[in-house]
Structure 1
Amino acid sequence: MVWQMTQLLLLALVAAAWGAQPRTPRARTDLLNVCMDAKHHKTRPGPEDKLHDQCSPWKKNACCSVNTSQEAHKDVSYLYRFNWDHCGKMEPACKRHFIQDTCLYECSPNLGPWIQEVNQTWRKERVLNVPLCKEDCEIWWEDCRTSYTCKTNWHKGWNWTAGYNQCPVKAACHRFDFYFPTPAALCNDIWSHSYEVSNYGRGSGRCIQMWFDPAQGNPNEEVARFYAENTNSGAVPQSIASFLLKLVHMVHSWLPN
């Protein structure tokens, strides 16, 4: 009887958690090959033969323009007036990851399953919990751990009085690994959970790669299809289901036999 009650609790928790998940305003059939409604994105993806440097993998089908791809490589560009060197010069290897991150955000047409509506002055949509391949996150963290920053969430809380972001008053500059002690802390927290580091690796078809060889095709297309089908099925995300199962077993251990 006790276990039956616990199972009912599980079902209730699943229903509550799934019902509380943000739902995309897009139609379920409109999750593939789409661009966000955001500040610099094109209305629909298409070829851009001259995308610059690290944005070039998306040249066959991109949500960014050539000009956006060029600006993504500049310090304090007109895109967002964001200063990577807010705590001194960022290491080039570290900055390369942030440029790649910008290219993925601006150029990828494969983020539809994670697009959510937002009420912000500079964009109407964002991405949430994009499953970033674990190697991409680990290398990003490793290459940035000796650079310096003063915040964990780079989406908000900056001092913009100079026209670009500066550290807030009393925010101390420390190494990245002070503010981000693990790769997951960096990838999950830095952009308000735009990413959620995946347990899957590159080439698995289950996680988004920040970088890929365009000569081998775009692996993120397969990933987007998989999660679009998962969204259509109404399945509970694996991370939520795993958490709820652990919670139920914990509750069950507290109950009398």
Structure 2
Amino acid sequence: MQALVTLGVLAVLTLGACGQGCLQGALHKSAPSPEEGMTACTVYSKASCCHANFTEQLAESPVIAVENYYWNRCGNLSTTCESYMKKVLCFYQCSPHASHWMHSNFSAALVQVPLCQSFCDGWFDACKDDLTCVQNWLTDWTIDENGNQCKNECIPYSQMYGNGTDLCRSQWGDSFAVSQSSCHCLELNESDELAFKHIVEGTSEESGEQIDCGRKPPATAETPKAGEQKNEEEEED
């Protein structure tokens, strides 16, 4: 029995490491597959870990609740802030790459997904004037039959979180981290396909990351032709 359990754990970890499976949450598919009729999270429709009916909860604005989990305990979120919340939830629920960061002790959870600094700063700027009553949206609520409830008073995001880095590292617990590499980080949009390739393959700046990421390599001086080099030497003499 112990051997079977060990094999099962290894199988889950292998799927996560390869990014070919899905997280093991209650609403996740067992494996990513094309999904028609998605009304949100459509960036993942070609290989989705969520069913189309899940996305119906995110299709309209303002989003009030997702699976009895309320987003408006301090009032409706602004459309800009809500858009970032949707991106984060869509990644967690629907992305075929999320399992690469599957938590080793809880297969329904993420751990240390590398978000781009630009994404975190944009998220903070979009939500800074919105209100929240909890820092960690996964654990800091009081939960009862009516869903998640505030324990403390509502304050602006700009008071709850110091900056974009703090927001990314705090709102979903240890689910996300902030990467300083423009190649080895996610923006939670279509550009993540290339970024995920760099992350999995471990592409570094030394091995051509700058060119692969679309940044032009540093300009180099052209080597003079033989005749030109000779003329330059004669002029120096």
**Which TM-score applies when normalising by structure 1?**
0.68
- Alignment partner of 1:149 out of 132, 140, 143: 132
Q: Deviations over 1:142-165 (max 9, x none)?
A: 000000011111111312235121
Separation in 1 of the partners of 2:12 and 2:179? Answer: 24
Whether 1:185 and 2:166 are equivalent positions in the alignment is yes
1:223 Cα deviation after fit: 4.1
Whether 1:99 and 2:82 are equivalent positions in the alignment is no
1:125 Cα deviation after fit: 2.8
Separation in 1 of the partners of 2:48 and 2:198? Answer: 17
- Alignment partner of 2:149 out of 148, 163, 166: 166
- Return the structure number with greater relative CO, CA threshold 8 A, min gap 6: 1
Q: Deviations over 1:82-138 (max 9, x none)?
A: 21111122111101110111111111111233112335xxxx431100001111111
Q: Which runs of 5+ in 1 are unaligned?
A: 1-22, 231-257
Residues 35-184 of structure 1: matches in 2 within 5 Å? 35-53=22-40, 55-73=41-59, 74-78=63-67, 81-118=68-105, 124-168=107-151, 171-184=152-165
1:192 Cα deviation after fit: 0.9
Q: Which runs of 5+ in 2 are unaligned?
A: 1-9, 205-237
Distance 1:47 1:224, change over 3 A: farther
AA matched with 1:155: L
Separation in 1 of the partners of 2:194 and 2:53? Answer: 25
Distance 1:219 1:112, change over 3 A: same
Distance 1:157 1:24, change over 3 A: farther
Q: Secondary structure at the match of 1:42?
A: coil
**Which TM-score applies when normalising by structure 2?**
0.73
Whether 1:194 and 2:180 are equivalent positions in the alignment is no
Q: Secondary structure at the match of 2:105?
A: strand
- Alignment partner of 1:218 out of 174, 177, 193: 193
CA contact (8 A) 1:63 1:108 kept: yes
Structure with max Cα Rg: 2
CA contact (8 A) 2:133 2:155 kept: yes
